[in-house]
Amino acid sequence: MTDAPTRAGFAALIGEPNAGKSTLLNAMVGAKVSIVTHKVQTTRARIRGVAMEGRSQIVFVDTPGLFRPRRRLDRAMVAAAWGGAADADVIVLMVEAHRGVTEGVEAILDGLDERAGDTPVWLAINKIDRVKSEVLLGLTADLNARRPFAQTFMISAEKGHGVPALKAALAEAMPEGPYLYPEDQIADLPTRMIAAEITREKLTLRLHQELPYQLTVETEGWEERKDGSVRIDQLIYVQRDGHKGIVLGNKGETVKAVGKAAREELEGFLDRRVHLFLQVKVRPNWLDEAERFDAMGLDFKDGA
């Protein structure tokens, strides 16, 4: 008896900022490969997480949340989101159950009409634990009346409800073919970029208002040491001197706390000791530099 054929393909997760895409990606992959915070627009690049389900390999594209772009960075993020959807074998639209059909969801539905083509679009209503069943059923009927989704799932990405069923269905939907990545690989991001994203998450959680979207983190140095540990040097770019003071904090307390939290998570992720060194630099025009966009996995030209 021959083994079942292997399958491999791409599933794009799209939706408004904070719809739970990163949480779902991490749940599917079984490890943290995408930033999860309470703040919106934290995912900047199309982060590919790789999940195995039976003899299927699902490559999840966690796209930046779709919103109305104002700046070059915003425009590049929205372009990356639609680009991730265009490359997929299945598109999964995530909608928050308690927010329902917002203006943003309506805009995404219009965008899908223009851009999805023949790609199957599935609906995943997330955070179902926040509403009553009659509200959930009404929202499902409303959305499917607006667009006939190929499949509809009701999930709680945070609590895991409905996630195994969605994952199994996606595994079946992947086209037959060889695996695209080694079976033990969980992301196609370079480890240096994942390390920078972990530090940026800690900064985002620690800081408030607009500052998190006016800074970026880059891994400048990566030194493997003889004792098995690794030294990681990272630069935190901010736009103004005042921002540098906020990141550093009183007597450097903020950046020290961020570094400690990032180092502890990196040690768990890399399964070894980490020596993390953070430096804050003022770079007024970093949002207009192509190199910074490249480091974030975004196309500078898309922001024009």
Query: Is 191-303 assigned to CATH 3.30.300.20?
Result: yes
Burial code of 5-31, b = ≥16 C-beta within 10 A, e = fewer? eebbbbbbbbbbbbbbbbbbbbbbbeb
Q: What ranges do the domains of the chain cover?
A: 7-173, 191-303
In this predicted structure, what is the pLDDT of residue 40?
A: 41
Overall size of the chain counted in residues? 304
26 has a pLDDT exceeding 80: yes
How would residue 33 be classed by pLDDT, with cut points 50, 70 and 90? low
In this predicted structure, what is the pLDDT of residue 82?
A: 55
CB 42 within 8 A of CB 204: yes
Written as six digits, the tokens of 190 are 């370079």
In this predicted structure, what is the pLDDT of residue 67?
A: 46
299 has a pLDDT exceeding 70: no
In this predicted structure, what is the pLDDT of residue 173?
A: 96
Mean pLDDT of the chain, nearest integer: 81
In this predicted structure, what is the pLDDT of residue 188?
A: 58
CB 276 within 8 A of CB 228: no
In this predicted structure, what is the pLDDT of residue 216?
A: 83
Helix 72-86 and helix 103-115, axial crossing angle in degrees, nearest 10: 50
Report which of residues 106 and 287 the model is more confident about.
106
90 has a pLDDT exceeding 80: yes
CB 107 within 8 A of CB 15: no
In this predicted structure, what is the pLDDT of residue 69?
A: 47
Task: Kindly list the distances between the CA atom of residue 167 and the CA atoms of 6, 29, 59, 241, in Å, as whole numbers in the listed order.
Answer: 16, 10, 11, 46
Q: What share of the chain is helix, strand, coil (3-state, %, to 5)?
A: 40, 25, 35
pLDDT digits (tens, 9 = 90+) for 121-158: 999 999 999 999 999 999 999 999 999 899 999 999 99
Q: Indicate the residue type of 224.
A: E
12 has a pLDDT exceeding 90: no
* Closest to 139 (Cα-Cα) out of 199, 200, 93: 93
* Closest to 198 (Cα-Cα) out of 276, 289, 291: 276
In this predicted structure, what is the pLDDT of residue 115?
A: 73
pTM recorded for the entire structure = 0.63
Neighbours of 224 (CB within 10 A): 10
Show the beta-strand stretches assigned E in 34-185. Answer: 47-53, 56-62, 90-96, 121-126, 152-154
CATH number of 7-173: 3.40.50.300
pLDDT digits (tens, 9 = 90+) for 100-129: 999 888 888 888 877 777 889 999 999 999
pLDDT digits (tens, 9 = 90+) for 165-216: 999 999 999 999 999 888 877 665 667 888 888 898 888 888 865 455 578 8
Can you tell me the distance from the alpha carbon of 4 to that of 129, in angstroms, rounded to the nearest whole number?
36
Please determine whether the domains at 7-173 and 191-303 fall in the same fold group of CATH: no
pLDDT digits (tens, 9 = 90+) for 207-248: 865 455 578 888 888 888 999 899 999 999 988 888 888 899
Measure the CA angle with vertex 212, ends 211 and 213; round to 5°: 90
CB 80 within 8 A of CB 41: no
Q: Indicate the residue type of 83.
A: G
In this predicted structure, what is the pLDDT of residue 152?
A: 97
CB 278 within 8 A of CB 49: no
pLDDT digits (tens, 9 = 90+) for 37-88: 444 444 445 567 788 999 999 988 766 554 454 555 556 555 555 565 667 8
In this predicted structure, what is the pLDDT of residue 170?
A: 97
